[in-house]
Amino acid sequence: MNFKEDLPDKCLLCFKTDREDIISNCQFCQDLTFPELHLCDLNMAVQAFPNEFVCHAFQPMLKIVGSGTKTVPDRADNKKEELFLSDKTNYHIALHLQKLGRDPDFIFSVLKYHITWNVFQREKAFPESPELMESILEIFKSSIHRANTIVLPLWIAADHVHVYVETSSKISVEAITRKIKKATERKLMRILNDMNGRKSKTSLWDDAYFAETVS
């Protein structure tokens, strides 16, 4: 997190940057105890501030304490284990262990990432709609046409997304994140424009992203 004196004026007046509790309405953030300040950092990283800084997730300090916060028990490890041990992962592990038994010099790697990024300026672009979620799921899953690569949206919040990626070490997390954003952006913008009258913009996603490996 940036030092207080380096924060945009808007952030210094925001309820979110002064609390360690989970404030986001994102259920995935709550389940994994994912700090919302990460999302704030991503938003600040791609904008010029303080005078031009825009944040649609801004909540003034006058908000009543407790009404927007939620303290969540630390159950992130169990949730990650549930989410990231896919049948395909277990199959590949068993297959490669067989190859390793036949050839001790055989080397393989499977990298698994939890990647998060914001909608531009944290605009609340995604409405709660089961039909929309089904369409988004398919768009993300088909965004990367590459052998041994899985792309799965874990959660679509109103102003950001959580994505699971499983791939080999032959492609960097930066490259694969860029590919996913590029492949999904235009299709999602078209759906959102048609569905809720969202004004067309040149971009849907912010450039910054957060990534962590999972086991």
Q: Where are the domains of the chain?
A: 76-213
pLDDT higher than 70, residue 123:
yes
Q: What is the pLDDT of residue 8?
A: 87
Average pLDDT over residues 139-152: 85
Class of domain 76-213: alpha beta
Mean of the per-residue pLDDT values for the chain?
A: 80
For residue 214, pLDDT over 80 is answered with: yes
Local confidence band at 86 (pLDDT 50, 70, 90 cut-offs): low
pLDDT value, residue 77: 52
Q: How far is CA 9 from CA 12, 42, 50, 78, 124, in A?
A: 5, 16, 6, 38, 21
Question: Is 1 a residue whose pLDDT tops 50?
Answer: no
With contact defined as beta carbons under 8 Å apart, do 69 and 19 qualify? yes
User: pLDDT of 9-55, one tens digit each?
Assistant: 888 888 888 777 777 788 899 888 888 889 999 999 998 776 788 99
Measured CA to CA, the distance from residue 158 to residue 151 in angstroms comes to 20
**CB proximity list for 62: less than 8 A, separation 6 or greater:** none
Confidence of residue 105 (pLDDT cuts 50, 70, 90): low
The verdict on whether omega for the bond into residue 50 sits within 30 degrees of 0, i.e. cis, is: yes
Q: Give pTM, 2 decimals.
A: 0.78
> Coil, strand or helix: which one is 91?
helix
Instruction: Say if CB 105 and CB 111 are below 8 A apart.
Output: no
Mean pLDDT of 158-171: 89
How confident is residue 191, by pLDDT bands cut at 50, 70 and 90? confident
Who has greater pLDDT, 123 or 50? Answer: 123
Q: Which long-range contacts (CB under 8 A, 24 or more apart) does 26-29 make?
A: 26/155, 26/157, 26/158, 26/160, 26/162, 27/155, 28/154, 28/155, 28/157, 28/162, 29/155, 29/157, 29/162
CB within 8 A of 125, min separation 6: which ones? 119, 158, 159, 192, 198, 204
The larger pLDDT score, comparing residue 193 to residue 185, is at: 185
Q: What percentage of the chain exceeds 70 in pLDDT?
A: 73
